[in-house]
Structure 1
């Protein structure tokens, strides 16, 4: 059975308490809060022949088939390769599944993740099934970025926001998930994961704290003119571009916030607090705004998997960053 996370307890009771289920749900929220686990748990509940308020029974024929990955009335649609789009041919296969009669005589359940990975043709091909699924079919769409979905897709679903756990709840869960990490390390991981506990666990497995330390040290040497932008760009080959742009966007935002509020408590993580404050005090605000605009535009390209020259992009970033202190 899929994991049941404590911050989803209220939402789960709300979902299973429905007397009649919608034909399509859109489960949305930030990445790393357990939306896939919630969808899988709901899928098992909807397919189970003897469900309880807790979830699927785990003992009936439907539960055994689902656990074995051979349930004939279950369909999972996702990209064929990580970070690739869901293609229209995949959706047509799903549509063929939807129009069939349930082989076990109960419901058919479809899970789509991430829904925003569907290209325009794929999304349009799904509309008919979303509006009028045949038989007792329930479609569960998972989205990390619902703003990227077609309005016609969203309007055909019951839109359900999935809760972000409180920091206290996340840290309590991380204490069990990452017992070998110190409290300070778990705090840092949760900050780097923007409050998403499952994302924090993934970041720990990727060695993100070590990567962050490498980047912070490099930025400090850059500002002291101990390293050239080209040297630094090449030394960050192992650090994912999305992480780098997330961090630099965060630092630019913190600089602006400090310039506006002079609030020492709003300088972010301790590893860059002094650097952020120094840059905020030494850089004209229009210059910070210009760099922030550039960062956000490039970050969008990175997230959109644009064909970018990594080293040249990072060199351009670091040249601008090194020039921040001083007149515009």
Structure 2
């Protein structure tokens, strides 16, 4: 059964302990904080034929079918390929499922993740099921970025913010998951994951620190004119585009913060602290604000799965970055 993490216990008690359940829930919060595990546990509880308090029994026919991945009244909807959109045909299958009678005589449960991956046609197709509930169906929508959902989708769901764990809970969980890592390494992983422990674990498995070291070294070479924008754009081919934009957005914010406050504690991770300070001291604030606006706009295009020329986009970024330390 899916794990309910320590920082979710109070929310779990409130959700699982409800006498009556809404037709649709929107579980939202940053990626990597355990929303999927919470939704899976709630789905098991809703489908269970003999729940034991707040938990599914794990022994009834419904629980056994769910564990085997063959429950006829459970529908999982997610992109067919990583980082791709949820298509309208997939949502039509969901709508057909919702209109059918539950085969085991209880509820039907849909789990949809991430909800913001639905394209506009798919989102509009889902609205009918949200507007006209059918029988004992419960839709569990998971969203990492609820602002990207149609307002009409959000308004037809019970919106439930999921808590971001505190630093102590995150470190404790990550320490258990990665016992071979030092405290400093765990702390660095959490910073790179924006405080989300499950994202930190995933990033560790993807070799994030090695990737970042390669990018940081490239940025330093760029500023010393030891590498060109085109060379680095090609060399970073294996680094996810969103990860690169996350880092450059963060660095531009740190530069601006230091320009405004002069606070040495606000320079970010040690690997780029000296570079951030150098750029803050040598760059006109207008240039920093301009590249920050550009980075945020391009990051939105990446999130929206726009058809982008990766190499040209990175070259444009790096040319602007190299031009930062100069006259305004």
Q: TM-score, normalising length from structure 1?
A: 0.97
- SS of match in other structure, 2:163: coil
- Distance, in Å, in 2 between the alignment partners of 1:53 and 1:186 is 36
1:57-78 residue CA offsets vs partner (Å, 9 max, x unmatched): 1111110010111111111111
Shift of 1:131: 2.5
Q: Does 1:154 align with 2:154?
A: yes
Q: For residue 297 of structure 2, what is the aligned residue in structure 1? A: 297
- Distance, in Å, in 2 between the alignment partners of 1:94 and 1:241 is 31
Q: For residue 176 of structure 1, what is the aligned residue in structure 2? A: 176
The alignment of Structure 1 onto Structure 2 pairs a total of residues equal to 328
Q: Is the CA contact (8 Å cut-off) linking 1:111 and 1:140 kept in structure 2?
A: yes
Q: Is the CA contact (8 Å cut-off) linking 1:76 and 1:110 kept in structure 2?
A: yes
- Distance, in Å, in 2 between the alignment partners of 1:48 and 1:138 is 13
Q: Does 1:22 align with 2:22?
A: yes
Trace 1:131-146 onto structure 2 (pairs within 5 A): 131-146=131-146
Distance 1:309 1:121, change over 3 A: closer
Q: Is the CA contact (8 Å cut-off) linking 2:17 and 2:54 kept in structure 1?
A: no
1:133-192 residue CA offsets vs partner (Å, 9 max, x unmatched): 221111111111111111111111100001100011100000001111111111111000
- Distance, in Å, in 1 between the alignment partners of 2:11 and 2:113 is 19
1:253-279 residue CA offsets vs partner (Å, 9 max, x unmatched): 011111111111111111111110111
- Distance, in Å, in 2 between the alignment partners of 1:243 and 1:129 is 35
Trace 1:38-53 onto structure 2 (pairs within 5 A): 38-53=38-53
- SS of match in other structure, 1:3: coil
Q: For residue 237 of structure 1, what is the aligned residue in structure 2? A: 237
Q: Is the CA contact (8 Å cut-off) linking 1:13 and 1:53 kept in structure 2?
A: no
Q: For residue 4 of structure 1, what is the aligned residue in structure 2? A: 4
- Distance, in Å, in 1 between the alignment partners of 2:53 and 2:282 is 59
- Distance, in Å, in 1 between the alignment partners of 2:243 and 2:280 is 22
Q: Does 1:306 align with 2:281?
A: no
- Distance, in Å, in 2 between the alignment partners of 1:227 and 1:110 is 50
Deviates more, 1:38-47 or 1:146-155: 146-155
Q: Is the CA contact (8 Å cut-off) linking 1:167 and 1:195 kept in structure 2?
A: yes
Shift of 1:118: 1.6
1:227-252 residue CA offsets vs partner (Å, 9 max, x unmatched): 22222222211111111111011000
Q: Is the CA contact (8 Å cut-off) linking 2:249 and 2:292 kept in structure 1?
A: yes
- Distance, in Å, in 2 between the alignment partners of 1:85 and 1:309 is 18
- SS of match in other structure, 1:140: strand
Q: For residue 117 of structure 1, what is the aligned residue in structure 2? A: 117
- SS of match in other structure, 1:139: strand
Q: Is the CA contact (8 Å cut-off) linking 1:35 and 1:142 kept in structure 2?
A: yes
1:191-245 residue CA offsets vs partner (Å, 9 max, x unmatched): 0000110000110011010010111111112112222222222221111111111
Shift of 1:30: 0.8
Q: For residue 276 of structure 1, what is the aligned residue in structure 2? A: 276
Trace 1:64-213 onto structure 2 (pairs within 5 A): 64-213=64-213
- Distance, in Å, in 2 between the alignment partners of 1:327 and 1:297 is 24
Structure 2: gaps (5+ residues) = none
Q: Is the CA contact (8 Å cut-off) linking 2:109 and 2:137 kept in structure 1?
A: yes
- Distance, in Å, in 1 between the alignment partners of 2:214 and 2:203 is 15
Shift of 1:52: 2.6
Shift of 1:314: 1.6
Shift of 1:54: 4.5
- SS of match in other structure, 1:110: strand
Q: TM-score, normalising length from structure 2?
A: 0.97
Q: For residue 320 of structure 1, what is the aligned residue in structure 2? A: 320
Aligned-CA RMSD value: 1.2
Deviates more, 1:13-22 or 1:120-129: 120-129
- SS of match in other structure, 2:190: helix
Structure 1: gaps (5+ residues) = none
